[in-house]
Structure 1
Amino acid sequence: MSTDSSPNPFAPPASVLQDPIASGTVPSIEDALARGYDFSITDLIKEAWQRVSGAKGLIFVGFIIYMVVVQAISFVLGLILGVGYAASGAEPSGTAVVLQMVVGILAGTVGYPFMAGINMLGIRRAADQPISFNEMFSHFGQFVPLLITGLLMTVLIYIGLLLLVLPGIYLSMAYILAIPLVVERKLSPWQALEASRKAISQHWFKVFGLFLVLGLIMLVSMIPLGIGVIWTLPLMVISVGVLYRTIFGVLPPAN
């Protein structure tokens, strides 16, 4: 009887992919990027859908708060900068158009702590962690890094869109996980942008396909008076959470 204990060269290679939820381990950012990952668009959406129940109210209300805050900031900044249309209905000047764009960018970035809260609701739901309304207001301590991340991300995407459009489309997908990386892993703005880009680039087209499918689902859900958005908006948020968990794992919440 042979006593050779060497590995069978004809055996299938063992997968290095691990589900952090199943294994109970959370890899470092470097380990997560090095080990690789994969997912099925259909399976990911199915899992996210199963987690919508019990979370949709919090996520939907959180998104409404985010939109109200962004609109309020836009209104205030518009008054400060004198952005608005003439009462006569005249077309806005080129300067007014640029100012409106600046107001929109600033309002969106100032609202990023709220967006981070929405992201974390989806991520915690994907990781079977408790979620609460307080999550929406838990990340203002990281306002500066979130603001810098949002500004960098927006500027780089805009530059990419100006450079033949395709680089902007690539970056708009590649940076999708930057905000939660700032709040969940406490990365610096540039570290978060690069970690997100490197991770998404491993399966960029599949991630693009995921958001294309989710976008179509959102579009269809708007047809009956938009009522379906109550379910499909949380579906999209939790889908991002499942994607994040699949790539990076999720740390337990701080006590």
Structure 2
Amino acid sequence: MNSDFNSIGQKPKKINFGEVFNESWNLFSKVVGIGALAVAIFGIASIVVSQVLGAITGLNYVQKEFQEQISGISDPDLLILEVQNFYMDNMNPFITTSLLTSLIMILAFPLAGGFMLVCREADKNGAVNIGTLFEGFKPQYWGRLIVLGLIYFIISKIAFIFFVIPGIYVWVAAAIACPFVMFTNLSGIDALKASFKMVNQNWFTVFQVLLVASIIGLVGYLLCLVGRLVSYPFVLISIYMLYKHMIGFENQDISKIGEE
């Protein structure tokens, strides 16, 4: 296993969109159930955190009060004015709740990391253990994944503030940072650096893979809740396959992954 950023090869393997997509699709049927469980856990956690923060900031109360206030308004112009005034008067609670709720994304990294190991198990052995999904919460992964999540959260927010294109670039370039943490001993910071270094040499192909995978996830989201649970894991499976095709595993023993 790699334990040093400098030990990461100078050139990743060139990847082919068709190969990555086809292998991702084949793996999908083996891990979709556990992937759906991961999405469900994250979704429930997001709702709970949002409600708790809304209660702390008072946003839940003012939203309920506002809904009662506008329930009898039929004039569209007056309704728009009331909505504008409501958001202006409660700007701080909205911003605070929204920002803190978005931080729940960081807790998705241990789940996503565990799912990377699930993908590896299924890909290598053809069978999976549901307990593997929670491996990312173990000490050898947890700290590095949280650091990675925090740094990615800050960088991506700054990038999207400047413009959409920098935000998209960061989203693509950071794609395989999570697998780097799970399959090597790199720190969160070095994993992000390694991801940028490797993806930049295959950036457009990685973008294509992530775009198509995201569209599949979006279609599932639009269809129904079950569709989202089933389709969104395909994005994570694609990320695993991108790492496999660009970096590879050589003769790594999955039971040793993450150990010093």
Question: What code does the residue aligned with 1:88 have?
Answer: E
2:161 is aligned to 162
Give, in whole Å, the separation in 1 of the partners of 2:143 and 2:17: 34
Conservation of the 8 A alpha-carbon contact between 2:27 and 2:119: no
The 3 A distance-change label for structure 1 pair 223 and 101 is closer
Q: 1:84–1:33: structure 2 CA closer, same or farther, 3 Å change rule? A: farther
1:36/1:202 contact within 8 Å kept = yes
Matches within 5 A, 1:52-67: 52-67=28-43
Pair 1:40-2:37 in alignment: no
Q: Deviations over 1:198-255 (max 9, x none)?
A: 1111111111111112223334445654655565334332222111111222332226
Most deviating of 31-40 and 183-192: 31-40
Equivalent pair of 1:127/1:245 in contact (CA under 8 Å): no
Q: Tell me the equivalent position of 2:102.
A: 105
Distance in 2 (CA, whole Å) between partners of 1:182 and 1:82 is 38
- Fraction of identical pairs, as percent: 24
Aligned position for 2:207: 208
Alignment TM-score, normalising by the size of structure 1: 0.77
CA distance in 1, matches of 2:22, 2:39: 22
Residue 113 of structure 1, CA deviation: 1.6
Q: Give the Å deviation of 1:50.
A: 1.5
Q: Match of 1:100, as an amino acid?
A: T
Q: CA deviation at 1:189?
A: 1.5
Q: Is the 8 A contact 2:55 2:61 kept in 1?
A: no
The aligned residue for residue 125 of structure 1 is: 122
Superposed CA offset, 1:147-206 (max 9, x none): 221111011111111223322211111112222322321321210110111111111111
Per the normalisation by structure 2, the TM-score is 0.76
**Structure 1 residues 93-128: Cα deviation after superposition (integer angstroms, max 9, x where no partner):** 221232023212322213432222223323443444
Give the corresponding residue for 1:22.
none
Q: What is the alpha-carbon distance in structure 2 between the residues aligned to residue 230 and residue 98 of structure 1?
A: 28
Question: Are the aligned partners of 1:27 and 1:248 in contact in 2 as well (CA < 8 Å)?
Answer: no
Name the CA shift for 1:151/1:213 in 2 (closer, same or farther; >3 Å).
same
The aligned residue for residue 145 of structure 2 is: 146
Q: In the alignment, is the contact (CA less than 8 A) between 2:119 and 2:240 conserved in 1? A: yes
Contact 1:178 1:196 in 2 (8 A): yes
Is the alpha carbon distance of 1:75 and 1:161 closer, same or farther for their aligned partners in structure 2, counting shifts above 3 Å? same
**Counterparts in 2 of 1:77-96, with a 5 A limit?**
77-84=53-60, 86=62, 87-89=64-66, 90-91=86-87, 93-96=90-93
> Following superposition of structure 1 onto structure 2, how do residues 65-80 of structure 1 map, counting pairs within 5 Å?
65-80=41-56
Note the C-alpha offset of 1:64.
1.0
Cα distance in 2 for residues equivalent to 1:160 and 1:220: 26
Letter in 1 for 2:197: K
Identify the range of structure 1 (31-40 vs 200-209) with the bigger mean alpha-carbon deviation.
31-40
Paired position in structure 1 for 2:69: none
Deviations 1:17-66 (Å, cap 9, x if unpaired)? xxxxxxxxx77765653232112212211111122223211211222112
AA in 2 matched with 1:204: W
Q: Which residue of 1 aligns with 2:254?
A: 253
Say which structure is richer in helix: 2
In structure 2, distance between residues paired with 1:42 and 1:231: 22
Change (3 A) 1:135 1:76: farther
- Secondary structure of 2:253's counterpart equals coil
1:116 aligns with 2:93: no
Secondary structure at the aligned position of 1:249 is classed as coil
For residue 158 of structure 1, give the secondary structure of its aligned residue in structure 2. helix
